[in-house]
A and B are shown apart, each in its own frame.
Chain A
């Protein structure tokens, strides 16, 4: 089958002779992919920043498709179903899944205990191949996959695998109260959805900070928020203090993670020398720009090692920090409702629709932020007819 293949930092290609995935556990299903996305967190892998990213891995944790085959224990979905597959691999039985923490499943990732299994990620997230391919093995098919409602556009559906729930959970974890000022750092797909979701929780003002003009233009329109370029602000933290009557934002959301721009010290130590687990600039700003007693909600991806973050200010300001990988399965029913009602129209963020065979170019365009790219989706040949 055709599949994306990682060869090393900045190098990917498409292979035509990747072996078909097989049922390896009675709870598995094999899904024929109809759409997959490239995600900002794939870029961390693509840039070689995530430990244990093995050459030969097929990326892609955001995909939907048609069930082709099911294992003996699978009863909740059947061959022929069109399914949304959450990016988390989750068993549904362990104490964490029981609590709705599907992103923290304890039965899907032998290589690490902090994070659960994730499709198409580094072996640190379980070593599963991903959906930037024609077929994928989907473990625990009784738990994760959800049949796509008949009235739902499949472009909307594919964004429900990660981008929408992660943005929504960022707002949910922030415990927004009606009227709150919410600052979102990062105008990538997740930042856009976090800004959009902040309104659903009753925000009174939503401000997005980024440094790429076309993304700021996009988010301003899409999420009806204020948007500022930190390159044209003398100091983003000072700006937020000024614009909030010198109090600080009620809530700050970090939707950037380990590849943040904007601070020379963080960039050099975090991205060039790799002395910390990525540059923590956005988190730094979030902690310093939030009001005392405020909430900082983190959905940006950071590595497992240490970061230079101002923990002293967290203590002194009495900040509540909340963070997690999104538990997609828990959020899906609510988000399907929101999409149905037109409160969120995910497909409008898709800017590029690329044949799977051109995956190397799609990665480069997204990574180098060429051609006003917000979100690229990949279409395998079998889904193009």
Chain B
């Protein structure tokens, strides 16, 4: 026999949404006469594009609204622009974007230095909380790091 709990008195609200006709959708969605007719709805007014906004080639236009922070720039931006030549079903689209992300990270560091800001990598990695909540882990990582440095210096000395 299938094992169930049987008595549900201890579960506050048990079964309250069990009626399929009285839940927000389950499993039906509201159908409208506009289904399957394409992009025919009365579109919201269009946000002006004040910065470069990339758009999927699986749609004909920009959406009515979009985010404007961090428009594509630099080398990562050029790669992103190129990625958008491929549709969302193409793996190149996503791999190019991921590659651009990695490059963007270095651009971010360069940008910081250019603005006279030296990134505090320890703080950015949440080092303070690691010290507080996982001191053993910090010690372990420090030991591994030190061992690596020793091995590398030993190897360099040997090769010279």
Convert A91-131 into 0s and 1s, putting 1 for each residue whose CB lies closer than 8 angstroms to a CB of B: 10111001111000011111111100100000110111100
Known: A8-B105, A55-B105, A91-B44. A113 touches B64 (CB 8 A): no
With A and B bound together, what is the CA distance between A175 and B94 in angstroms? Answer: 33
User: Are B70 and A57 in touch, CB under 8 angstroms?
Assistant: yes
Q: State the main secondary structure of chain B at its contact with A.
A: loop
With A and B bound together, what is the CA distance between A338 and B70 in angstroms? Answer: 39
Residues on A with beta carbons closer than 8 Å to the beta carbon of B39? 94-95, 106
Known: A11-B125, A172-B25. A113 touches B58 (CB 8 A): yes
A361 contact from B44, B67, B102, B126, Cβ within 8 A? B126
B148 to chain A, nearest CB (A): 19
With A and B bound together, what is the CA distance between A306 and B91 in angstroms? Answer: 8
Residues on B with beta carbons closer than 8 Å to the beta carbon of A94? 39, 41
With A and B bound together, what is the CA distance between A106 and B37 in angstroms? Answer: 14
A331 contact from B24, B37, B121, B125, Cβ within 8 A? B24
Residues on B with beta carbons closer than 8 Å to the beta carbon of A73? 45
With A and B bound together, what is the CA distance between A139 and B127 in angstroms? Answer: 36
Residues on A with beta carbons closer than 8 Å to the beta carbon of B1? 245
Residues on A with beta carbons closer than 8 Å to the beta carbon of B6? 204
User: Are A330 and B44 in touch, CB under 8 angstroms?
Assistant: no
Contact residues of A between 50 and 82, Cβ < 8 Å to B: 51-58, 73
Number of A-B contacts (CB under 8 A): 258
User: Are A368 and B10 in touch, CB under 8 angstroms?
Assistant: no
Q: Is B153 an interface residue (CB 8 A)?
A: no
A210 to chain B, nearest CB (A): 20
User: Are B4 and A204 in touch, CB under 8 angstroms?
Assistant: yes
A26 to chain B, nearest CB (A): 6
Q: Is A310 an interface residue (CB 8 A)?
A: no
User: Are B124 and A7 in touch, CB under 8 angstroms?
Assistant: yes
Chain A residues with CB under 8 Å of chain B are 7-13, 24-28, 48, 51-58, 73, 89, 91, 93-95, 98-101, 106-114, 117, 123-124, 126-129, 139-140, 172-173, 175-179, 181, 199-202, 204-205, 224, 243-245, 247, 274, 303-306, 322, 327, 330-331, 333-334, 338, 341-344, 360-365, 367-368, 370-371
A-B contact sample (18 more), CB < 8 A, given A11-B124, A99-B32, A361-B129? A7-B119, A25-B45, A25-B65, A27-B65, A51-B94, A95-B41, A98-B32, A111-B56, A112-B88, A127-B67, A128-B69, A200-B14, A201-B17, A201-B18, A306-B91, A338-B16, A364-B130, A368-B126
